[in-house]
Amino acid sequence: MKRNKRIRTSLALVFIVFSCTLVLIPLYFTVLNSFKPYPEIAANIAALPREATLNNIKEAWTRLNYPLVLLNTLIVTVFSAIGTVILSGMTGYWLARHQNRFTRLCYVLILCGMSVPFQCIMITFARMIGLLNLGNRYLGVIMSNWTFSLPMSVFLVTGAVKSLPVEIEESAVIDGCSPINLYWRIVFPLTKGTMFTIVSLEVLKYWNNYLMTQFILTKPQRRTIQIAMMSLFNEAMFSWDVAVAAVTLSVLPLFIFFVIAQKQVLSSATVGAVKG
């Protein structure tokens, strides 16, 4: 019995180490080569820098116009995530607690959005953005993110709400709690784990979104990090020293976010698992 347990533990450790290696190797090479001049990168990408330099970071910072594109990306990401949590949370709660033919039909139609790739509708989508006069506006990107994030988010929230005991909500209603207060004071805290899962997944998607954002934000002063990086890659196709530095700058804010949010995400997920 103990031998089988040791074997399972050893296999799990091997799998974890292998998974971490797959993730860390590309990140290691990217960060490492950000501090190396181009001749050293061309000679050996795996070698430690003989003459470490910050010139690559400075050049990428300037050519990306990093403060501006970072601000643009933060505006889009933060408001998209907030709106997704509010809309998907309240929609999923209503669909889970008020089941009839109409709400079941709405639920199925919302879930159908998960099966439609953006590439299939991007021409129609670009036309609709033009008709609504949302081009080169943050609101256009933010509302588009809400739209494409709702199917998966509503699916997760609906499942989480169904696992909650209805008696808690009935007691709150008896005590005079209004529907809005019922959701925000009772249901939302109990589904916090699911909400943090949604935020984690969607923030990563919003931050790295290129195709849809390019359709809407065409002015240079509205560029997000991913659009600015693609423009830099096209201009500096063989300047790998600047390119890897730009990638490092784009990854750094996400890394900081997940480091800060890690404790809350894990604790919320654990609470949700226990309650479920």
pLDDT, tens digit only, all 276 positions of the chain: 677 778 888 888 999 999 888 888 888 888 888 888 888 888 888 888 888 888 889 989 998 899 999 999 999 999 999 999 999 999 999 999 988 999 999 999 998 888 888 888 888 888 888 888 888 899 999 999 999 999 999 999 999 998 888 888 888 888 888 888 889 988 998 888 889 889 988 999 999 988 888 888 888 888 899 999 888 887 766 677 888 889 899 989 988 888 877 766 555 544 444 444
Residues in the chain, overall count: 276
Q: Which pLDDT score is estimated for 51?
A: 81
Closest CA to 269 of 175, 199, 218: 199
Closest CA to 97 of 197, 9, 170: 170
Phi/psi at 110 (5° precision): -65, -45
Count Cβ neighbours within 10 Å for each residue of 31-50 and write b for 16 or more, e otherwise: ebbbbbbeebbeeeeeeeee
> What is the dihedral angle through the alpha carbons of 232, 237, 239, 245, rounded to the nearest 10 degrees?
40
Q: In angstroms, what CA-CA distances link 82 with 17, 127, 162?
A: 35, 26, 23
Instruction: Please report, in angstroms and rounded to a whole number, the separation of the first and last CA atoms in the chain.
Output: 30
Q: Which pLDDT score is estimated for 237?
A: 64
Annotate 113-159 with three-state secondary structure: HHHCCHHHHHHHHHHHHHHCCCCCCHHHHHHHHHHHHHHHHHHHHHH
The C-alpha atoms of residue 71 and residue 81 are separated, in whole angstroms, by: 15
The amino acid that residue 59 corresponds to is E
Burial class (CB in 10 A: 0-12, 13-18, 19+), 244: buried
Domains (range + CATH), the chain: 65-235 (1.10.3720.10)
